[in-house]
Amino acid sequence: MLSGGSVWGTLLILSCALKLSLTQDEHMNNALRLMSETPLIDGHNDLPWQLRMKFNNQLNKVDLYTLNNTHTNIPKIREGRLAAQFWAAYVPCDTQYKDAARQTLEQIDVIHRMCMKYPEAFMFATSSKDIVDAFSQNRTASLIGVEGGHSLDSSLGTLRTMYHLGVRYLTLTHSCNTPWADNWLVDSGAEPSQHNGLSEFGKQLIFEMNRIGMLIDLAHVSENVMNQVLDLSKAPVIFSHSSAYAVCPHKRNVPDDVLRKVQNKKGIVMVNFYNDYVTCSNTANLSQVADHFDHIKNVAGHSIIGFGGDYDGVGRVPGGLEDVSKYPALVAELLRRGWTDAEVKAALGDNLLRVFREVEHVNSLKGTAPDDLPIPYEEVKNDCRTSYGYPVPNPDSAGTILSLSPLALLKLNG
């Protein structure tokens, strides 16, 4: 038989447990309410790369309702209240100087086809208005971000063509330097700097992205590139999937001084869930992801924060955030920590919509002519690249002629 003290102690424990459960339910209910009012926009998901690696982009061989070996499928998207997603058109760095542009076009194509195959679930989107419209229709707005400047093959014409195909952000580098920008590995010492940030062509590209209205993504770039772009760009910038360096000192994350510059530029940092960027170790949990949200808010305000899960692009995700169905749990955790409704709505989607609208506004620069000055040939010369259009010395005159193949020269002289 329990003594009187034991009974009261047991009742007190049960009462505390019930109160905690009710409080947790209240936070989750509030999270779901806020997510029904404001679209959750995630900055980066690599499902298209999984479609390539698992099915070689053959969508007839996959059912996104039953696919169960990825972080992302349609039931998980719906459970997670994922209202808008930037799908990554990613190809690895070893395609650079080879077939990066072709493979990137194929990744853009598979995103289009995914939306066409599942129109009840996905709405292809290219604007801030499209995101809002899709949300009103209970469909996931599906946008494209090209992850890595190597996909452009150092061509402004390719950049513009990808924009016409629906691409709305470009990550300037992946984990390799391009002929015009340094990547984050430069800061780790794993790769040498080639440009001390951006080359002159890299600066041209920033202005052309402003002109056409494409979001500039600084995830994966060196710190010099971060600072140079923040100084150069006429529009706000994004980090589509990066976290806070002060919380986890990994060079893929964003230092505090850069966070403040993002605030001044009215940009956004969309927090990455990859364990290695959350805790700088193999393990992490949901609360530790929330620590990054708190830190960014404390340093630069809630107006620069967003979600950038990096699902299906990483091998390790935190406990409690195992797949895209788990977003509401993170939102509930922010509420438990005292975030206001307005702050949560800003992080969910209002911040990204504001940035996107400003980039679209700066797009008024498109009244100016496209930049058609190509990158200097000596900066991209390699065995897999021809030089058509570039001037070469004419041995018979002081002038120049268009560069032609040996066969074309024979035809010209014949």
- The catalytic residues are 44, 46, 147, 174, 220, 241, 310
What values do phi and psi take at 253, rounded to 5? Answer: -95, 175
**Cα–Cα distance list, 144 to 109, 168, 196 (Å):** 10, 6, 29
Residue identified by tokens 């018979």 is 396
Neighbours of 321 (CB within 10 A): 26
DSSP state string for 285-336: BHHHHHHHHHHHHHHH-GGGEEE---BTS-S---BT-SSGGGHHHHHHHHHH
Residue identified by tokens 């990204």 is 352
Structure token pair of residue 162: 């990808």
Neighbours of 308 (CB within 10 A): 27
CA distance 45 to 311: 5
Do 56 and 81 form a contact (C-beta atoms < 8 A)?
A: no
Number of H helices, E strands in the chain: 16, 11
CA distance 53 to 37: 36
Query: Is 405 exposed, middle or buried, given 0-12, 13-18 or 19+ CB atoms closer than 10 A?
Result: exposed
CA distance 374 to 220: 24
List of residues 6+ apart from 231 with CB closer than 8 A = none
CA distance 135 to 129: 10
